[in-house]
A and B are shown apart, each in its own frame.
Chain A
Amino acid sequence: METRKREPSKWIFSRELRDSIIEEPAEDEGRGKPFVITPLGTRVKRVLFVGNVASVNDEGTITKVTFSDPTGSFYLSIFKESQFPTSRVIPDTFSEGQCMIVVGRLSTFKSQDGRVFFNVNPELARDSDPRVMKYWVSRAAHIARRKSLAIREAMKSESATAENLMSLGYTAEESECALRAVRGYPNYNYQQLMESIEGSSASSEANIEVEQLKGQVYAYIKENDKDGKGCLYEDILSFVKTVGKDQAVLDQVLNALGSAGEIYESALKRFKII
């Protein structure tokens, strides 16, 4: 019997995934899950990331977990053991504010208006720490940076080939990604994506504190928005002080959550989950 090779995981930021709009059918005659082609040309079916648990929601047969990375969020669905007894990751693994490494396969959903939503079905989730997250952020940014440079080269010529790009020092994978990106995302704003990624990487050290708090603040706003009008800034600040953080860190956290499209200011000094 021919053994199927395990599809390697890709190290990508949530923003790269969120901006993806192209799916490629699986090679095995359409069986199995399709590959997603991201704006950087990454052909991905499985992701590996290190992030913070922003929220955990038990919805009966399924537990939904939101992870934040410095550019946005990954969304995970974990089925209860009774339904999928072979599942290797159980819902109890996750708690808010925790820094974890996750490996999982992607599921995609297309809305009626054509938007694509992504969900990660975790195969592996384990406690990690901010230093490992910093390493992952730096390396994932390095991988994205090289791909974006290869795309820039590929855009210079209509007849660019993988061989051309490899002769410039890019790897086979980077060259293929660049060609896929040019074909699939001719009008994509790479500057915005790279600013988001570079920003996250450059300030990743300072971000560790922010990242650790993001999940907790997100969860606090979600749980305490009782009247649907959002949470008061003062209340959030009081909560933040109870976990030993100051106003400056809170402001960075609110900015980061706002930039990632997780929250918005519903009224002056009031914050609400999107």
Chain B
Amino acid sequence: MANISEIKGEMASIDLVVKVISINQKEANTKKGPMKYYYGIIGDKTGTIPFTAWSMTSSVRAGDVLELKNCSVKLYNERARVYVESKSQVILRPGEEMEVKRTYPSLKVKELSLKDQYVTIEGIVRDVKERQYNGKEKSGTLYFGYLEDDTGSIRLNSFDVKLSEGQAIRIKGARVSEYNNRMRISMNEKTETETIKLSFSQAPKVYDLCELDSPVSGVTTSGFVVFVGEKGGLVMRCPECRKTQEGDECPDHPGTALVRDYFIFFTIEDGTGTLQCTAGKEQIISMIKGGDSGTLDKMAAEDPFLRDLKNDILGQLIRVSGEVIRSRNGLSFRTSSIAVPEGEAIEQMARAYSNEMEV
């Protein structure tokens, strides 16, 4: 019988005694037609590992202890995973208890993905707000904000555990999920947290576009503007929810006067990839000649608004900060700030690459 900590890479046949930490069911279309399978996390006293079971009795629940015989271990999404197949045997051990050592990979914000559902992560809590929630089973206070480290920031939801602005914390077992095309992490009273000392450089890392592969916030990248979409221009926006509105008022906030705003989407390239970005009024202003609201309003009053805007921004080298969003067409970028580097700033960007030759 093997322990989970002994699993190293792919293994053809392995026997384990494990406790089911979580179990979910899904249906997949196979050559033999639609088939149900189970997946989740199993653990023992040495650690935890994800599993997929094509052959498993439907009575298995989280908390059950199982003996798994003749299973295999394969890499899925670069992570080891136990597979329970038709050749495998699953023996339920009713009434048996087992201590499980919960192990989570320690990751930075930029490294988070749905490959690891539970992680250890540390960072500084920013922009904390709170509101009451009423669930089916429980009501309480949701504290929400962002957890920021030196690679980016991510939305953090904390159920009933108070978060303080600027607090540096380590969260063991933070749950990673995606909601509204954005990645987020969640914690609750059962999640192990500790206050730590943490500091990192304020200068943001400038990512290559090929490195932006997951929907995280607080990242900075750069490139030349190579395309400006035709659908930008003036929009009316609800100041409460920030949604653009086609009609005279926001259906969610009736009575609130809509405000004029501008919106464009454009593409940047940096030689390693391409990224479609969106920008609002404030960000557009930072890219146009003149650089003020009046210039933009004047531009917008002219009929070929986008033509004038394109003349200003196409081919321009820019540095953008914001959040990566997963959409139907892949990843896109919502800019929160845009800078057009000039003079010494461009020299610095060039030096980053010149210096590597001297290393």
Residues of chain A touching chain B, judged by Cβ–Cβ distance below 8 Å, are 6, 8-11, 48, 101, 103, 124-126, 128, 131-132, 134-135, 137-143, 145, 171-173, 198, 201-202, 204
Contact = CB atoms under 8 A, between A and B. Distances in A.
Contacts, number: 75
Contacts of B272: 143, 171, 173
B129 to A, nearest CB: 38
A138 B350 CA distance: 6
Given A6-B227, A48-B224, 16 more contacts: A10-B271, A48-B269, A124-B226, A124-B315, A126-B314, A126-B315, A132-B317, A135-B346, A135-B350, A138-B353, A139-B271, A141-B357, A142-B353, A198-B357, A201-B353, A204-B354
B349 A135 contact: yes
A265 to B, nearest CB: 31
B356 A142 contact: yes
B312 to A, nearest CB: 10
A125 B224 CA distance: 12
Contact of A135 (B274, B314, B315, B317): B317
Q: Which residue of A6, A125, A145, A173 has the most chain B CB atoms within 10 A of its CB atom?
A: A6
B354 A201 contact: yes
B85 interface: no
Q: Which residue of A132, A145, A171 has the most chain B CB atoms within 10 A of its CB atom?
A: A132
A131 B350 contact: yes
A10 B273 CA distance: 9
A8 B274 contact: yes
B348 to A, nearest CB: 9
B354 to A, nearest CB: 5
Top-9 shortest CB links A-B: A126-B315, A11-B271, A138-B353, A8-B274, A142-B353, A135-B350, A138-B350, A131-B346, A101-B315
Nearest to A103: B226
Q: Which residue of B314, B349, B353 has the most chain A CB atoms within 10 A of its CB atom?
A: B353
Nearest to B354: A138
Contacts of B227: 6
A173 B347 CA distance: 27
B315 A128 contact: yes
Given A48-B271, A138-B354, A131 B210 contact: no
Nearest to A134: B350
Given A124-B315, A171-B210, A134 B347 contact: yes
A131 B343 contact: yes
Contacts of A135: 317, 346, 349-350
Nearest to A129: B346
B350 A101 contact: no
Contact of B354 (A10, A11, A202): A202
